[in-house]
């Protein structure tokens, strides 16, 4: 009898390949009797067959299981009449209906990975973007206005409750971390456009209110345009960045690129009761089915899932397994035991997975 059940939405494109890879690594780290991965339907191709990207039975399973593991969803060209992609319904419905309000995106330069930023060849980039995940400009998904093929608009929604809880998440995270690489200070940087829009000035003011409860964490502010410069010029300054939904979506891809790309960037979408874990990349249909996608982002998302489950259930075995997976990935990349194609190597998805599993099986990784 397994201890945990994980709703598994492989999705579209490379989703099945990278999800299978993450499951193999987690089973190697935890033993195959710890977690049952329940494979569920969903995504753009499922929509083509059934008319829905997230069937009720899949949603109910996500609601009732211990966590959600997701590959990727969306296929270009499979769109609603309004032009928006149907595959993203899967993801956005889960975010909104399960209230996964904190989208946690670690931006960390792993040993052995070359950053496109020249001076960072020995690490030194280690921060987390906490993206508000249930409102902002995304609140208008499916609710925007298009009139007479002449005018269109979407609204940006910022609520006190939505901002308080994501800011609190960010400050709590900063308290647990070791501070920024540049000065070791625990810091939350509020990313907004408060100089121009009242809604972002409101976002900033609510983050300020939350900061009153965290005297040991420094608060810092940066306009979203300026932060794209600083994320390239002084990434070592950042510890935790909190941002509205759309800004977080955009800057997290820039951040991922500075540490090796979307293929190495995990994410955890966390609410008070539920959580979804996926690589921050998309379905990459152009490389699907060729065994060349990097599974690293989804494997590291699996490690984040084990740590989240371990903390929630006070399960030191899972906490250890999550840390060992992270160490195994670092060892494989730093020693070049296998290098994915998106990092300049020629290891297949399978070879990456097998190399990480071998390290897990044959090395005492501590933790
Ligand atoms: C992401 C993706 C999603 C988003 C899509 C897949 C709905 O870009 O998770 O960053 O827009 O948030
Ligand atoms: Mn995105």
Clarify whether residues 73 and 20 are in a common domain.
Answer: yes
Each residue's pLDDT tens digit, 244-296: 999 999 999 999 999 999 999 999 999 999 999 999 999 999 999 999 999 99
pLDDT of residue 119: 79
Clarify whether residues 59 and 166 are in a common domain.
Answer: no
Please state, in angstroms and rounded to a whole number, the distance separating the CA atoms of residues 302 and 256: 17
CB 24 within 8 A of CB 18: no
Clarify whether residues 232 and 121 are in a common domain.
Answer: yes
Q: What percent of the chain has pLDDT over 70?
A: 98
Clarify whether residues 155 and 236 are in a common domain.
Answer: yes
Each residue's pLDDT tens digit, 328-338: 999 999 999 99
Residue 121's pLDDT band, with cuts at 50, 70 and 90, is: low
Q: Which residue among 121, 183, 209, 225 is the active-site one?
A: 225
Clarify whether residues 140 and 204 are in a common domain.
Answer: yes
Q: Which of 203, 237, 259 is the last residue of a domain?
A: 259
Region 24-36 average pLDDT: 95
Residue 367's pLDDT band, with cuts at 50, 70 and 90, is: low
- Tell me, what CATH number does 161's domain have? 3.40.718.10
Clarify whether residues 136 and 209 are in a common domain.
Answer: yes
pLDDT of residue 39: 98
Among candidate residues 319, 342, 277, 315, the one with its CA nearest the CA of residue 23: 277
pLDDT of residue 361: 95
Clarify whether residues 223 and 138 are in a common domain.
Answer: yes
Clarify whether residues 20 and 43 are in a common domain.
Answer: yes
Instruction: Report CA 61 to chain centroid distance, whole Å.
Output: 21
Q: Which of 259, 294, 317 is the last residue of a domain?
A: 259
Determine the residue of 84, 88, 250, 269 to mutate for testing ligand 1's pocket, defined as the one with the most ligand atoms within 8 A of the Cβ atom. Answer: 88
Residue 216 CA, ligand 1 centroid: distance in Å: 33
**Domain with 198 in it:** 115-259
Say whether pLDDT at 186 is over 80. Answer: yes
Count of the separate structural domains present in the chain: 2
DSSP classification of residue 41? -
| Neighbour-count burial for 257-285, b at 16+ CB within 10 Å, e otherwise | bbbbbbbbbbbbbbbeebbbbbbbbbbbb
* pTM reported for the whole predicted model: 0.96
Ligand 1 contact, 93 CB (< 6 A): no
H-helix or E-strand containing 255?
A: helix 245-258
Diameter over CA atoms, the chain: 65
Residue 128 CA, ligand 2 centroid: distance in Å: 15
Which residues 6+ apart lie within 8 Å of 203 measured at CB?
Answer: 158, 163, 190, 192, 194, 244
Say whether pLDDT at 142 is over 90. Answer: no
Which residues 6+ apart lie within 8 Å of 93 measured at CB?
Answer: 53, 54, 59
pLDDT of residue 164: 98
Question: For residue 217, which phi and psi values (nearest 5 degrees)?
Answer: -115, 130
Clarify whether residues 89 and 54 are in a common domain.
Answer: yes
Respond yes or no: is residue 101 known to be catalytic: no
CB 46 within 8 A of CB 10: no
Ligand 1 contact, 12 CB (< 6 A): no
Q: Mean pLDDT, the chain, as a whole number?
A: 95
């Amino acid at each position: 009898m397994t201890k945990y059940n994980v709703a598994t939405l492989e999705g579209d494109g490379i989703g099945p390949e990278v999800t299978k890879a993450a499951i193999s690594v987690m089973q190697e780290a935890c033993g195959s009797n710890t977690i049952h991965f329940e494979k569920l339907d969903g995504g753009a191709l499922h929509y083509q067959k059934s008319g829905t990207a997230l069937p009720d039975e899949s949603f109910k399973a996500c609601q009732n299981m211990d966590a959600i593991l997701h590959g990727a969803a969306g296929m270009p060209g499979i769109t609603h009449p309004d032009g928006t992609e149907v595959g993203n319904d899967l993801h956005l419905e889960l975010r909104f209906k399960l209230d996964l309000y904190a989208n946690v995106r670690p931006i960390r330069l792993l040993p052995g990975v070359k950053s496109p930023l020249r001076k960072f060849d020995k690490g030194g980039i280690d921060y987390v973007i906490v993206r508000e995940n249930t409102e902002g400009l995304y609140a208008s998904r499916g609710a925007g206005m298009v009139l007479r093929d002449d005018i269109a608009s979407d609204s940006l929604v910022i609520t006190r409750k939505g901002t308080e809880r994501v800011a609190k998440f960010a400050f709590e995270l900063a308290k647990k971390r070791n501070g920024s690489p540049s000065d070791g200070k625990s810091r939350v940087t509020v990313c907004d456009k408060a100089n121009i829009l009242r809604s972002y000035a409101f976002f900033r003011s609510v983050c300020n209110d939350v900061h009153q409860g965290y005297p040991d964490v420094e608060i810092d502010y940066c306009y979203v345009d300026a932060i794209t410069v600083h994320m390239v010029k002084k990434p070592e300054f950042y510890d935790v960045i909190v941002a509205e939904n759309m800004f977080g979506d955009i800057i997290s891809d820039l951040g991922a690129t500075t540490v090796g790309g979307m293929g190495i960037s995990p994410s955890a979408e966390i609410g008070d009761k539920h959580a979804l874990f996926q690589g921050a990349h998309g379905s990459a249909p152009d490389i699907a089915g060729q065994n060349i996608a990097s599974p690293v982002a989804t494997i590291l998302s699996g490690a984040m899932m084990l740590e989240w489950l371990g903390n929630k259930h006070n399960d030191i075995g899972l906490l250890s397994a999550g840390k060992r997976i992270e160490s195994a990935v670092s060892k494989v990349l730093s020693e070049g035991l296998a290098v994915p194609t998106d990092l300049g190597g020629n290891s297949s998805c399978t070879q990456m997975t097998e190399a990480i599993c071998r390290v897990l099986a044959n090395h005492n990784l501590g933790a």
